[in-house]
Chains A and B, each alone.
Chain A
Amino acid sequence: MPEQLLFAMEVTLNGLMAGVLYALVALGFVLIFKASGIFNFAQGVMALFAAMTLVGIMDGQVPFAHLINATFGTDIHHFGWHVPALLAIILTTGVMVLLAIGVQKFVMGHLVNQEPIILFMATIGLAYFLEGLSDLMWGSEIKKLDVGLPQGINETIDQVTYDLFGYGFFIDNLDIVATVIAALLVVALVLFAQYTKQGRAMRAVADDHQAALSVGISLNFIWVLVWSLAGFVALVAGIMWGTKSGVQFSLSLIALKALPVLMLGGFTSIPGAIVGGLIIGVGEKLFEFLLGPALGGATENWFAYVLALIFLLFRPQGLFGEKIIERV
């Protein structure tokens, strides 16, 4: 096989893996949007907040250390202990559930029946609040996150492909793990939505609020539940991105990449979020590989948005979104 084709295959594989991470963020958006019609601009910041909290807990960092020290003239930064990764993840999940309860109680609970644009604005406010809170709680320096996920080149794939084609594929172990975890997460979410009482209630709320009330479903409870789920998905995305490129504030920008993913996949479809993520991931990598040199490079920065724009022109509801039918 020619070298170029093999290289393209490698790029495609890497694109698929990157797409999984986009899909993870997009998934959080879809969950909340489906159940409450809220487009949660804060999803990316939630991933950042979750990752920061996880690192903070693992390293035994004192939350609000700077604030405490500045107020009381103390000099404390660390508790002096280290929390094992698994326990820290469980604790962070707890924090995300508390966050969900807080969001519902103090923000969304007061905005029931408001226009979507108002809810959207509220989530922008929430994004800024969370960003500030993350900074205040855990500091703004770039942190290393290591929960024990394997990293670096996968030797087996490198070896096997070298033996087969005479060209070793470079696939990062972390990407493989991310793909597996994302797949498990999606399967778990689908099982939850289809087969549990709460999942059924969640789908009911997503479909019709009035009808849901009439069969005894508490909207408040369901909204806390979906914000918690979205928080958990944000945590998983935060772990993956954080492990890959360090926990830093630019993490919140991955939310922007999730927008074209959603436009492609449709805002209301879980499979859509996944397929959309994969298409964007592969698309931007392949585009850069094929046309990048001719266009002066750095096409990854804009490719996703242009693709989304084209989709908006020809299929505004996305690949899997609900078709908008206007009855006259």
Chain B
Amino acid sequence: MLDASEGYTTADGRKIGGVVMEMKNITLRFGGVTAITDISFDIREGEIRAIIGPNGAGKSSMLNVISGFYVPQEGEVWFRGAKRPQMKPYEVARQGIARTFQNIALFEGMSVLDNVMTGRLTHMKTGLLSQAIWKGKAEEEETANREVAEKVIDFLEIQHIRKTPVSRLPYGLKKRVELARALAAEPKLLLLDEPMAGMNVEEKEDMSRFILDVNDEFGTTIALIEHDMGVVMDLSDRVVVMDYGKKIGDGSPDEVRNNQDVIDAYLGVAHD
């Protein structure tokens, strides 16, 4: 087990810091159905942490617990060294946890730039009255936020569609815009819900590259969900494996790959 205060060094030599988020004995039920059973794991500063598992394993439920969309019946969520009280999703977002959605939740009527700018909302402090009266200060803030947004747009190579309404974009680009919006918030923790779902090989490679680059360039801590094993193993530093709502594996990709429970979950077990 790793010590909470110290980090570790990855195979490619990156330094991983202390614990950013810790889930302690999380149990989530919907009526009589238990989606998550007593799961604990942590996410460390600067790492790419994956949650994998077959369909229906409870991965998305776990992400929704982290982002505050679901409230677990049991267990504690610790964020940056403090126990998180029960919070609404928007409060979680204001704490610095940004996310994307499996089925893309963008503001379809707005342009790409406007979408990315909404990611900056939590960073806008000027009140309504001062925006009306003291134009200068609001403009200054707007410019600063705009710079961050443009930087993210450049970084994810979507400059050419800045002014295009999102509804006109193809699926792959929408996914990228959603990532841009989340990134614009300069999150302390970035949650990606199946970032590669429904993509072709080329798009998957692009997305993998962007996720690695984001982590590398901005040092963003990333937790992602994916059921495509191959992609995850190349991408992530540590992997949690879920099956039927339970944790069946946790460790580096290599450790997980050789874990008998994981192999059974993915390939099935011979019943004799």
Using a CB–CB cutoff of 8 Å, the interface residues on chain A facing chain B are: 195-198, 200-201, 203-204, 206-208, 210-219
B88 at the interface (CB under 8 A from A): yes
Given A207-B109, A208-B108, A210-B105, A215 and B93 contact (CB-CB distance below 8 Å):
yes
B121 touches A211 (CB 8 A): no
Contacts of A213 in B (CB 8 A): 69, 88-90, 93
Using a CB–CB cutoff of 8 Å, the interface residues on chain B facing chain A are: 67, 69, 88-91, 93-94, 98-99, 101, 105-110, 114, 117-119, 121-122, 124, 126, 128, 131-132, 138, 181-182, 185
Closest residue of chain B to A207, judged by CB? B107
Closest residue of chain A to B109, judged by CB? A207
Q: Which one, A197, A200, A207, A218, contacts B108 given CB within 8 A?
A: A207
Additional pairs, 17, CB under 8 Å, beyond known A214-B99, A215-B185, A218-B88: A197-B131, A198-B128, A200-B114, A204-B110, A204-B121, A208-B105, A211-B101, A211-B118, A212-B118, A213-B69, A214-B101, A216-B90, A216-B91, A216-B185, A217-B90, A217-B118, A217-B121
A216 touches B94 (CB 8 A): yes
B90 touches A211 (CB 8 A): no
Contacts of A197 in B (CB 8 A): 121, 124, 126, 128, 131
Given A216-B90, A217-B121, A210 and B128 contact (CB-CB distance below 8 Å):
no
6 nearest A-B residue pairs (beta carbon): A216-B93, A211-B105, A207-B107, A216-B122, A213-B89, A197-B124
Q: How far is the CB of B140 from chain A (nearest CB, A)?
A: 13
A207 touches B110 (CB 8 A): yes
Q: How far is the CB of A201 from chain B (nearest CB, A)?
A: 6
B101 touches A200 (CB 8 A): no
Contacts of B90 in A (CB 8 A): 212-213, 216-219
Contacts of A215 in B (CB 8 A): 93, 98, 118-119, 121-122, 181, 185
Q: Which one, A201, A212, A214, contacts B67 given CB within 8 A?
A: A214
Q: List 19 A–B pairs whose Cβ atoms lie within 8 Å, in order of A's numbering.
A: A197-B121, A197-B124, A197-B126, A197-B131, A200-B117, A200-B121, A201-B121, A203-B109, A204-B107, A204-B110, A211-B105, A211-B106, A211-B107, A211-B118, A212-B90, A214-B99, A215-B119, A215-B121, A215-B181
B131 touches A200 (CB 8 A): no
Cα separation A216 to B124 with both chains bound (whole Å)? 11
Given A197-B126, A213-B69, A215-B118, A203 and B107 contact (CB-CB distance below 8 Å):
yes
Q: How far is the CB of B62 from chain A (nearest CB, A)?
A: 16
Cα separation A39 to B54 with both chains bound (whole Å)? 42
Q: How far is the CB of B224 from chain A (nearest CB, A)?
A: 15
Cα separation A272 to B120 with both chains bound (whole Å)? 30
Cα separation A143 to B106 with both chains bound (whole Å)? 49
Q: How far is the CB of B129 from chain A (nearest CB, A)?
A: 10
Contacts of B185 in A (CB 8 A): 215-216
Cα separation A312 to B166 with both chains bound (whole Å)? 29
Contacts of A196 in B (CB 8 A): 128, 131-132, 138
Cα separation A204 to B181 with both chains bound (whole Å)? 12
Cα separation A42 to B101 with both chains bound (whole Å)? 36
Contacts of A198 in B (CB 8 A): 128
Closest residue of chain A to B122, judged by CB? A216
Closest residue of chain A to B107, judged by CB? A207
Contacts of A218 in B (CB 8 A): 88, 90
A208 touches B88 (CB 8 A): no
Q: How far is the CB of A288 from chain B (nearest CB, A)?
A: 38
Contacts of B124 in A (CB 8 A): 197
Contacts of B91 in A (CB 8 A): 216
Cα separation A201 to B185 with both chains bound (whole Å)? 14
Closest residue of chain A to B124, judged by CB? A197
Q: Which one, A195, A200, A207, A214, contacts B93 given CB within 8 A?
A: A214
Cα separation A206 to B109 with both chains bound (whole Å)? 9
Closest residue of chain A to B100, judged by CB? A214
Among A207, A217, A218, A219, the most chain B Cβ lie within 10 Å of the Cβ of A207
Among A195, A210, A214, the most chain B Cβ lie within 10 Å of the Cβ of A214
Cα separation A201 to B114 with both chains bound (whole Å)? 11
Cα separation A215 to B122 with both chains bound (whole Å)? 7
Q: How far is the CB of B132 from chain A (nearest CB, A)?
A: 8
Q: Which one, A195, A207, A214, contacts B98 given CB within 8 A?
A: A214
Cα separation A200 to B122 with both chains bound (whole Å)? 12
Cα separation A210 to B107 with both chains bound (whole Å)? 10
Closest residue of chain B to A219, judged by CB? B90
Cα separation A164 to B88 with both chains bound (whole Å)? 66
